[in-house]
Amino acid sequence: MSVCPKCGTILLSSWRQNRWRTNVWFLQWDQTEDIESRILQDLKDHPKEAQIDDFYAYRNAGRVIERVLLQEWKVMGLKAFHIPREHVDHKPRDLCQKKLVEKDGDVEK
């Protein structure tokens, strides 16, 4: 379920957002009422190829069907389905970063 921020309309849908990847939505094969039958058949017949409609690109991911926005798919192709979500922890990681210290014109690491 999602809510339009402008008009407040509630959209009931089976699509759920992927927890690990940005802007990737998925649903189970038995919940396909939101997808055109032509796209479903093409996903079954050609499981390695992405199928597109006016707004989204879809792919067969085995047990689920995934979708991304068409604009992202046009730019990145199949890589659009694999963009990792940014980590929540934004603390500086001094232990992982290399520091350069200048000392009398020499650079030490």
Tens of pLDDT, residues 46-93: 989 999 999 999 999 999 999 999 999 999 988 888 887 776 666 665
Q: What pLDDT was estimated at residue 13?
A: 75
Nearest alpha carbon to residue 49 among 36, 61, 59, 39: 59
Q: Is residue 74 included in any domain, yes or no? A: yes
**Higher pLDDT, residue 85 or 30:** 30
pLDDT at 2: 65
Domain range for 65 is: 17-88
In angstroms, the CA 50 to CA 55 distance is: 13
Residue 79 lies in a domain: yes
67 domain residue, yes or no = yes
Give a yes or no: residue 109 inside a domain.
no
- CA end-to-end distance (rounded Å), the chain: 52
Q: What are phi and psi of 68, to 5 degrees?
A: -135, 165
Average pLDDT, the chain: 80
**Each residue's pLDDT tens digit, 1-25:** 567 778 877 766 788 888 788 789 8
Residue 106 lies in a domain: no
Q: How far is CA 53 from CA 64, 71, 101, in A?
A: 18, 11, 55
Closest to 59 measured CA to CA, from 36, 26, 85: 26
The pLDDT assigned to 45 comes to 93
pTM for this model (two decimals): 0.68
36 belongs to a structural domain: yes
The reply to whether 57 falls in a domain is yes
Q: Enumerate residues 6+ apart whose C-beta is below 8 A from 79.
A: none
Contact indicator for 73, 32 with CB cutoff of 8 Å: no
Q: Is residue 102 part of a domain?
A: no
Tally the domains of the chain.
1
